[in-house]
Structure 1
Amino acid sequence: MGPAPPDDGDTPVQVVLDALDDPDCRAILREASQPMTAKELSDACDIAESTVYRKLDLVSRATLVREFHDVHPERGRITRYQRDADGLDVTITDDGVDVTVDRPARTVDERLADMWSEMGDEL
């Protein structure tokens, strides 16, 4: 078993590496430069929608995508996904392997939208 993840909030190394090792996850990350629904990602990546949901779970656990929630008056809650990594650094140390995810800068509006989204998940 590998070293414990750092306490500074970094994603566990193996989860990130598993996501990057998966070709469907890489396709999703490549296409999700802008917020997209699972259906849109399915079409863009030519992957079954049920598979997209499983792969989104993996890249979400790896904290490589962000979720955006909208409410459509006729269709209800809509979730969109966007890549949340500009780059990755993998470092081999005496204690194991560390992965650092470089995140895009967020505007105040984006940070507020994240807070509202998290609050909605808890309700």
Structure 2
Amino acid sequence: MNWLDEINWNEDGLVPAIAQDHQSGRVLMMAWMNRESLGLTVQENRAIYWSRSRGRLWRKGEESGHVQKLHELRLDCDADVIILMVEQLGGIACHTGRESCFYRLYRDGGWQTVDAVIKDPHAIYKEHTHE
């Protein structure tokens, strides 16, 4: 049996993928993967996701330059969630310019931003635009 056949893909052929920093364990982001993106992630040793909004493969860092180098891949007990232990090159996983997409904390009845912007997102994407 192919290792990809052991995954319980959802009805759209996707599986949630959580990227964590390989040293600190901090959750950086969550995205979706299909068979092709997961296979390519292992082959290229870098995070490649399936972008539902774009309807295509999305190599993390293709626009920002902030690539996720794969260190370890894990599958949960129900075989329906992937964890990628990654090295976040450039230190920024979130399109908002923060280290993590999980920068809001529920406190006192509302969401509070607790992580600062490391780099202005307009500058990140402008630097890596080749137009």
Is TM > 0.5 for Structure 1 vs Structure 2?
no
**TM-score after normalising by structure 2:** 0.30
Please identify which structure carries the higher helix content. 1
- Larger % of strand: which? 2
Q: Of the two structures, which has the highest relative contact order with CA contacts closer than 8 Å and spacing of 6 or more?
A: 1
